Structures are given as C-alpha cells and as structure tokens.
Amino acid sequence: MSPRDNLSTPGIWYFTDGMSSGEAAEFAGEVESLGYSTLWLPDTVGRDPFAHIAWLASQTSTLTFATGIASIFHRHPGPMKQVMNTIGEQSGGRFILGLGVSHGPMVAGLRGLDYSKPLTQMREYVAAIESQPFRGPAPAEPVPIVLAALGPKMLELAGTAADGAHPYWTTPEHTAQAREIMGPDALLCVEQKICLSTDADAAREAARAAIQIYADLPNYRNNWKRLGFTEDEIEQRDNRFIDAVVIWGDEDRVRAGIQAHYDAGATHVCIQPLSTEGPTTLDRNALRALAPSG
C-alpha cells in the first residue's frame, strides 16, 4: 500500500527528541502495532529528521514516516531530492516529505538566513526539486510532497505545485477552507492536538503549555486571527481559543473532534497527544484509546 493510500488511516505527530534512539524505535513500534498509518516528526533544533526516520524505518515494517515539516532553508533542493528518494527507496515507499518555510524567528533570527519572500521561495524550491538530477535507485512510486500551509496563497500553492498540505494548529473550519482552496484531489494532512481528560482545568493547562512556544510566531497568530480569534483571546489564552485548537474530553468527544476534520475534507488526521502530567510526558493511554485497531 502506498503512503497516499495509507493516509486514509489516522496517524501520530510527536516530538521524539526526549527519547533515546532505542526508546524512539520502541515508540514507533507501538504506533505501528496500534494500527496508526503514519508517524510525523518535526525538524527543529534536535535530531536530523531524515537520519532519524531512516533509523526508525529500519526498526519497523509497515509504518509510514513523514516530516512535519522539513525547513526548505536548511537544505538545498538537490540534497533534499536525494534524501527523499533515498528514504523512499530504502523504506519500501514508507515516506512522505513535508516541507515548510518555518518562521521568521527561526530562519532569519536563529539561522541568519533570508526570509523576505517565503511564498516565492517555496514556489521556487518545489520547482527546483523537480529539476534536480537524481541517479540513485528510485522509489517504486514518487515520494508525496506536502507543504506546511495555513494562508490561502500557500494552500493554493500546495494544491498546484505539490501533492497537498500539512496544516498545523488549526481547526475543522480551517480544514474546510483548505479543501475548498485546494480542490478535491489534493492531500490534506491535518495535525490536531488532543488531550484525553475530562478535567477542564487540567486539559486547558496542558493546552496552554503546548501553545506557549507557538503563540508569538506570526504565521500561526495570523492564521488564528483569520479564523476569527482576537488578539486578546490569543494573548490571554482564552478558553474559547484554547477549546477550538485543542480537542479535550472523554474518548467520544475527542473522536468526534477528529471526525470533524474528516467531515470538513481532511484526507488524514495526525493526532498529537498532550498529557496533563506535563509537556514531556507521552500519554500512552490516549494512543491506545484512540488507536485505529482498537
């Protein structure tokens, strides 16, 4: 089964930098055994995601892996084509390349790189991947490419220049808008944070801890404002805002929130479980309770 076909089944989005390589492999094995289709991994300042995915793919047999997302500013399009095809071929087609422009504070601030025209740079980057030579063994099927897309222009680009989009920190309302912009055939792989807890105070506290490192990033903040949240609601982490971007409650309520994305047009939903015990704690109970094989 190809990665595109696999995406009809939900996946998991998670940071594994707090795990040893062995622990990460055990985690990937558990994700696989529970019937999730795909494990999405970030590209920040921790492990190289491609080296890590190559290791995890060697320790699993059916699980697809995806970058959520790999920054286009960290790698030339030529080496990016090399690594996507290498992992795609060596994993037996179990790889999806998620690309993104990241954020100004990361690219211009931390890396000291040009972030003046991210949409233009993404358009040129995707075209450059296509034109770059590659003479190694190719995957049996082309590796799908999805773009981190929030605003209408990037979503349009994701639907025309790539295979689809990978929105992050959004809502079912955004999913419906994205589907309308991209059309019926593009992949729409939505990340959704969940907290399997009926304790409103604890669940919202877990949500606020998760949002802390993202709330001041302009790309997210601007998208939340487009979705109708005010500057004050975002700044104060108002309950209306928190409850919209993080699904919390019992199993039925969380499943209904995930289904809302599918009803709005998502191809795939990858859940990111938040724990009331702290941001570095993996809620294995949530993984098991929401497992596709359950």
pLDDT tens for 148-194 read 999 999 999 999 999 999 999 999 999 999 999 999 999 999 999 99
Residues 42-61 have pLDDT tens digits of 999 999 999 999 999 999 99
284: phi then psi, degrees, rounded to nearest 5: -65, -30
Domain boundaries, the chain: 3-193+251-289
Q: Quote the CA–CA distance of 60 and 45 in Å, as a whole number.
A: 25
pTM of the model: 0.97
Residue 242 tokens, joined = 């928190």
Q: Helix or strand or coil: residue 71?
A: strand
* Residue 294 in this model has a pLDDT that exceeds 70: no
* Residue 204 in this model has a pLDDT that exceeds 80: yes
Residue 287 tokens, joined = 């993984």
Residues 56-87 have pLDDT tens digits of 999 999 999 999 999 999 999 999 999 999 99
β-bridge partners, 270: 11, 191
Contacts of 238 (CB under 8 A, 6+ apart): 229, 232
Q: Quote the CA–CA distance of 292 and 10 in Å, as a whole number.
A: 7
* Residue 108 in this model has a pLDDT that exceeds 90: no
Residues 245-256 have pLDDT tens digits of 999 999 999 999
CATH: 3.20.20.190, 3.20.20.30, 3.40.50.12780, 3.10.180.10. Which one for 3-193+251-289?
A: 3.20.20.30
pLDDT value of residue 278:
94
pLDDT value of residue 105:
76
Please, which pLDDT band fits residue 5 given cuts at 50, 70 and 90? confident
Sign of CA pseudo-dihedral 143, 148, 153, 159: positive
